């Protein structure tokens, strides 16, 4: 599971990151988000040392 990004940790985890970062913007009601979720999760598991992956909940 991807770690959630919040206003508290955004600067440290995204803006000041030392490796490339993917931030998935999602909502629970978004059908496309649900389709992409397994792919993003698998990519995150396959590349934990090359990239950082996070989720950003949207309204």
Domains present along the chain, CATH in parentheses = 3-57 (3.40.30.10)
Average pLDDT score over residue span 15-20 = 96
pLDDT number for residue 6: 93
Average pLDDT score over residue span 16-40 = 93
pTM across the whole model:
0.82
Q: Which residue stretches of the chain are H helix?
A: 10, 31-46
CA dihedral sign, ordered 38, 59, 22, 8: negative
pLDDT number for residue 1: 79
pLDDT of residue 59 exceeding 90? no
Task: Give the pLDDT band (50/70/90) at residue 22.
Answer: very high
């Amino acid at each position: 599971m991807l770690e959630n990004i919040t206003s508290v940790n955004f600067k440290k985890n995204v803006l000041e990151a030392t490796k490339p970062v993917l931030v998935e913007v999602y909502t629970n009601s978004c059908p496309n988000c649900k389709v992409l979720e397994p792919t993003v999760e698998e990519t995150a598991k396959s590349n934990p040392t090359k990239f950082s992956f996070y989720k950003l909940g949207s309204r």
